[in-house]
Amino acid sequence: MSTLSKLRRLVLRQDVSVREASRRLGISRNTATKWLKDGQMAEPRYPQRVSGPSILDPYKEQLSQWLKADSHRSKRDRRGIKAMFEALRAQG
């Protein structure tokens, strides 16, 4: 709610334009005008995004084993990202 109160303070009390206030606060002008037109003093709540299955989920256990094994090795002997990618590609 701090962004909304800062926006209202800038526009209504300090007579800063909506464009300048939105630029200072890092929000879009459309959002700023919508919040100012709305009579309520509450920022909108957006629903949480549901994360779908990852491409790497089938290989998660294998990758964690590789990373754990590589953590014990010296930096020079560790596998790079490309080497891990090629190893996963070889597995299918």
The whole-chain average pLDDT of the chain stands at 88
pLDDT for 17-38, tens place per residue? 999 999 999 999 998 998 888 8
- Ranges in the chain, pLDDT < 70: 1
Dist. CA 27–CA 43, nearest whole Å = 13
- Residue 53 to residues 56, 57, 64, 65, 84: CA-CA distances in angstroms? 8, 7, 17, 20, 21
Q: Which has the closest alpha carbon to 20: 31, 9, 11, 12?
A: 11
Say what the pLDDT of residue 1 is. 56
Nearest Cα to Cα of residue 55 among 82, 78, 89: 89
